[in-house]
């Protein structure tokens, strides 16, 4: 039953995913569709950065323009095929029970040679520009305990700073260092799911933006999670279209790809605006799942 509450789910996808989501949200805003009015924002990995800035009340147009400028304070990294294969083999190298799979990936992450944790945290703080936990709406940031594989949702009700929670959610195994908080170390929330869209199950309307449509091992894909949500309420699911995928290139962590990805998201907004409006606008007719960009 549609209770009128709205959830915005923002998935993982690296630097290009951040830029694409900013472009998409800005394009929708220009068409009068304000996704920043969500009652709940769920952010995973790249989506945690976007969610934190949107929940802080930042203008989507300003966020888009920042993606078109030269990247300052960002650390170059490469999420290539070799690393993806290593993570995949780690996931498959033992018990298939989800938490144990995540713990194995966490162990791999803990042993990886990365930049110092303090350097990575400074880069995340620069992205958030001092934003703290919002008081107006709920912001949920996802992460995984690197030692136990336990899934965690960080909220404003805890003592963990927002930048720390976001850094944890963005800690791609083998690329970025696990983040220290609450007596343990945390890795990317995308290890559990690239979008964790199932967290929006209690909301009557949801928009799911998924820069990466796959998942690690047997983890449910964003699309599958969105389809499950559609049985409970109105859902619009959007993944990058062909132009956006070309803009992303082969390395989603490359800051140089941000402008093209942002422009692609801005252009794609026109194609998905009508369906998102039917889901998002209160009182709009229709029910179901949009698969924009599929």
Catalytic residue among 45, 48, 169, 221: 45
Q: Six-digit token pair at 134?
A: 């919002």
Determine the Cα–Cα distance for residues 4 and 283; give it in Å rounded to an integer: 9
3-state secondary structure of 291: strand
Determine the Cα–Cα distance for residues 154 and 141; give it in Å rounded to an integer: 5
Based on the residue annotation, tell me whether 188 is a catalytic residue of this protein: yes
Catalytic residue among 145, 188, 241, 254: 188
Strand partners, 292: 238
Residue 130 neighbours by CB distance under 10 Å = 9
Strand partners, 84: none
CB 75 within 8 A of CB 139: no
**Ordered DSSP codes for 66-132:** HHHSPP-SPPP----HHHHHHHHHHHHSS---HHHHHHHHHHHHHTS--S-HHHHHHHHHHHHTT--
Q: Of 220, 216, 270, which Cα lies nearest the Cα of 244?
A: 270
Q: Six-digit token pair at 128?
A: 């958030």
The rounded Cα 294 to chain-centroid distance in angstroms is: 18
Determine the Cα–Cα distance for residues 176 and 190; give it in Å rounded to an integer: 13
Residues annotated as catalytic (active site), given as ranges: 45, 188
């Amino acid at each position: 039953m549609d209770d009128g509450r709205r959830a915005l789910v923002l998935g993982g996808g690296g630097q290009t995913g951040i830029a694409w989501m900013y472009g998409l949200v800005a394009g929708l805003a220009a068409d009068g569709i304000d996704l920043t009015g969500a009652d709940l924002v769920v952010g995973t990995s790249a989506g945690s950065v976007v969610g934190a800035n949107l929940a802080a009340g930042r203008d989507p147009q300003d966020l888009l323009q920042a993606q078109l400028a030269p990247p300052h304070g960002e650390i170059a990294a490469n999420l290539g095929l070799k690393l993806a294969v290593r993570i995949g083999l780690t996931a498959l190298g033992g018990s298939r029970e989800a938490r144990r799979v995540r713990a194995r990936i966490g162990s791999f992450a803990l042993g990886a040679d990365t930049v110092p944790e303090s350097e990575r945290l400074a880069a995340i703080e620069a992205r958030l520009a001092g934003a703290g936990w919002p008081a107006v709406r709920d912001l949920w940031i996802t992460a995984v305990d690197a030692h136990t594989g336990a899934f965690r949702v960080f909220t404003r009700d805890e003592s963990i700073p927002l930048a720390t929670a976001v850094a944890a959610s963005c800690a791609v195994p083998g690329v970025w260092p696990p983040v220290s908080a609450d007596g343990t170390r945390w890795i990317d929330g995308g290890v559990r799911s690239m979008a964790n869209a199932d967290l929006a199950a209690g909301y009557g309307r949801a928009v799911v933006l998924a820069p990466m449509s796959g998942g690690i091992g047997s983890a449910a894909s964003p699309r599958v999670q969105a389809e499950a949500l559609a049985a409970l309420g109105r859902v619009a699911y959007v993944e990058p279209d062909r132009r956006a995928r070309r803009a992303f290139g082969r390395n989603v962590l490359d800051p140089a790809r941000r402008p093209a990805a942002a422009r692609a998201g801005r252009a794609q907004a026109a194609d998905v605006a009508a369906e998102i409006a039917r889901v998002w606008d209160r009182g709009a007719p229709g029910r179901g799942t949009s698969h924009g960009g599929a």
